Amino acid sequence: MVKAFGLVGDDPRAARVTQLDLLFMLGGFAPAGPLAAPRELTELISAQSARFRSLDPHLSYELLIDVNCEEYRRCGDIRVFSPGQLGTLERDFYLGHYLSEPWIRSAAYGLRALITAPDAVKPVAVLDDAARCVAEFTSHMASYRRLSGEAFGRFRHFHMGHPGGPRGASGAFMPSVQLLELALLPPTTEYGSYLDLAMSYFPTWSRPVVAQWRSASSLGMNVWQSVRDGRLVLDGAGAERLVQLIDRFVDFRMVHLGITRRMLPEAFPDRTGLTRREIGAQAGERGVLNAEHPGTSGFSVRDVLTNAVHRLLELRREVLSSASAPANQ
């Protein structure tokens, strides 16, 4: 598992891979408790983190997914915790996140063009393309339906943080899904709390981008506010495509919710209120810090996933009701 340590030298790529290896070694001690790792190892990790300030001192989404999979692309090596066939499933779980993210990132950046330069692009084409990218993203993610809950459970505990420690490596810290949401609609208060707490767990490149898109979105630089303010004019076909895009985004979140319910039934002791219709009808968002069933990310699994669907269904309702409202109102 461990490659030769480049603890000397200033090559940032080698430093990232070394940090990944050190944190994989540390993760190997996780089942024995947070204090089981040898002091020399934790000191090495602290020294590397102090030396390369941009390195996460814990096994973050960026290290586990992005750095690990970039290394796999570069030389065919990937770090996994599990041996044998389970290791192949674990590898594919990491690669699945890495290879699918560009689809949703492309949708997010397409919308960004629609917001910043609405006259330079064709809205129907941009919205169509974004919906197609989100559907591709969903079909990659949906292939994890085939992963058994038993297999997932065997490597998942290596990704979990421990009480009082940093949050674990979770899809909740994949930035492009959040960029797409910020490009579509303004952040709600509850979503803002999630972003505040998630910010330092997103990959380094994305932190200033998420912060900038969030503040722009709050100030009206999002697709929905642009339509309402008349900066972005959508004809009937354009409004239809906007609803279609929202539907594809809801599909992603509902399929993902279905997979998560099957894999982590303990996080959903109350089986009611989880259909699209019920989530749409729920009275607002719930507190994501409800600590009864925290997931890898440390947020309440049920609430973070259902809130995310709820916000999109609220947007869908607003878009449809404004399309059916008489003009000049």
Applying CB under 6 A, the span of 8-16, 127-135, 138-146, 183-191 interacting with ligand HEM comes to: 138-146
For ligand HEM, which residue of 97, 112, 241, 311 counts as binding (CB under 6 A)?
97
Measured from the CB of residue 102, what is the shortest distance to ligand HEM in angstroms? 11
* 170 makes contact with ligand HEM (CB under 6 A): yes
Task: Give the residue with the Cβ less far from ligand HEM, 147 or 209.
Answer: 147
The CB-of-75 to ligand HEM minimum distance in angstroms stands at 24
* Choice between 144 and 158, CB closer to ligand HEM: 144
Residue 172 binds to ligand HEM (criterion: CB under 6 A): yes
Provide the minimum distance between the beta carbon of 317 and ligand HEM in the complex, in angstroms, as a whole number: 19
The least distance separating ligand HEM from the CB of residue 205, rounded to whole angstroms, comes to 17
Query: CA 234 → CA 123, 186, 227, 249, distances in Å?
Result: 7, 19, 7, 19
Residue 288 corresponds to which tokens in the numbers above?
């994501």
SS in 3 state form for the chain? CCCCCCCCCCCHHHHHHHHHHHHHHHHHCHHHCCCCCCHHHHHHHHHHHHHCCCCCCCCCHHHHHHHHHHHHHHHCCCCCCCCHHHHHHHHHHHHHHHHHHHHHHHHHHHHHHHHHCHHHCCHHHHHHHHHHHHHHHHHHHHHHHHCCHHHHHHHHCCCCCCCCCCCCCCHHHCHHHHHHHHHHCCCCHHHHHHHHHHHHHCCCCHHHHHHHHHHHHHCCCCHHHHHHHCCCCCCHHHHHHHHHHHHHHHHHHHHHHHHHHHHCHHHCCCCCCCCHHHHHHCCCCCCCCCCCCECCCCCEHHHHHHHHHHHHHHHHHHHHHHHHCCCCC
The span of 26-34, 46-54, 205-213, 303-311 binding ligand HEM (CB under 6 A) equals 303-311
- Which one of 18, 60, 226, 296 is in contact with ligand HEM (CB under 6 A)? 296
CB of 41 to ligand HEM, least distance (A): 26
User: Does residue 174 bind ligand HEM (CB under 6 A)?
Assistant: yes
Task: Indicate whether 223 belongs to the interface with ligand HEM (CB under 6 A).
Answer: no
The one among 23, 30, 45, 305 contacting ligand HEM by CB under 6 A: 305
**Minimum distance from CB of 116 to ligand HEM (Å)?**
23
Distance, in Å, from the CA atom of 200 to the CA atom of 193, rounded to the nearest integer, reads 13
Angle at the Cα of 199 (from 196 to 205), degrees rounded to 5?
150
For ligand HEM, the nearest residue by Cβ is 295
Q: Among the candidate windows 16-24, 39-47, 254-262, 316-324, which touches ligand HEM by CB under 6 A?
A: 254-262
Of residues 133, 141, 198, 274, which one binds ligand HEM by CB under 6 A?
Answer: 141
Binding to ligand HEM by residue 308, rule CB under 6 A? Answer: yes
Nearest partner of 214 among 179, 245, 249, judged by Cα? 179
Count the residues of the shown chain that bind ligand HEM, applying the rule CB under 6 A. Answer: 27
Q: Does 68 contact ligand HEM by CB under 6 A?
A: no
Residue choice 152, 158, 213, 268 for contact with ligand HEM (CB under 6 A): 152
Please state, as a whole number, how many other Cβ atoms lie within 10 Å of the Cβ of residue 292. Answer: 10
What x-and-dash track marks residues 258-277 binding ligand HEM by CB under 6 A?
Answer: -xx--xx-------------
Chain contacts with ligand HEM (rule: CB under 6 A):
96-97, 100, 140-141, 144, 147, 152, 170-172, 174, 177, 253, 256, 259-260, 263-264, 295-297, 299, 301, 304-305, 308
